[in-house]
């Protein structure tokens, strides 16, 4: 399974009155993780958008485990959890500088035509991207023919 990793230094502006990262900032970090994964797979949302295709969020979930604070380093791990040719579910784990799990989350996306919001098939429109997602979900034992 392909897992992207991205580090973020927690900035003061991302914290709240309690001195911890404000909860909505984790959603921004999830987007950074998802974008990193797509980049690692050799693709770009920006290129897709030039074709008039966007990828809105259908659902998002976040479970907060430990706080992150100003000056800490957050490490975002992201992978494709589910994919059916049209919808993709990304899973996220964010760790603090001590390697402790701070957040688990997921987001579900679909690709649509920007002008009409009609869903498209990633499999038909971007077959290379489709295959990259299928490959990214494979576990090492799948590649060896074991289940």
Rounded to two decimals, what is the model's pTM?
A: 0.91
Residue 34: exposed, middle, or buried by beta-carbon count in 10 A (0-12, 13-18, 19+)? buried
Mean pLDDT of the 2-12 span = 97
List residues with catalytic annotation.
Answer: 16
Domains in the chain (CATH in brackets) are 4-137 (3.10.129.10)
* pLDDT at residue 119, as a whole number: 96
* pLDDT at residue 147, as a whole number: 47
* pLDDT at residue 143, as a whole number: 54
Mean pLDDT of the 111-131 span = 95
Say if residue 141's pLDDT is above 60. Answer: yes
DSSP letters, 31-78, are HHHHHHHHHHTT--HHHHHHTTEE--EEEEEEEE-S--BTT-EEEEEE
Mean pLDDT of the chain: 94
Say if residue 146's pLDDT is above 90. Answer: no
């Amino acid at each position: 399974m392909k897992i992207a990793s991205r580090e973020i230094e927690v900035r003061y502006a991302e914290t709240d009155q309690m001195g911890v990262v404000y909860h909505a900032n984790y959603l921004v970090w999830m987007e950074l993780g998802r974008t990193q994964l797509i980049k690692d797979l050799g693709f770009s949302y920006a290129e897709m958008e030039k074709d008039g295709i966007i990828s809105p969020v259908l659902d998002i979930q976040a479970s907060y485990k430990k706080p992150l604070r100003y000056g800490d380093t957050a490490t975002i791990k992201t992978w494709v959890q589910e994919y059916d040719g049209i919808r993709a579910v990304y899973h996220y784990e964010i760790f603090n500088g001590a390697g402790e799990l701070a957040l688990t989350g997921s987001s579900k996306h679909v690709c649509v035509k920007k002008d009409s919001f009609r869903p498209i098939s990633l499999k038909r429109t971007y077959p290379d991207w489709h295959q990259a997602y299928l490959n990214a979900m494979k576990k090492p034992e799948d590649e060896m023919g074991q289940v």
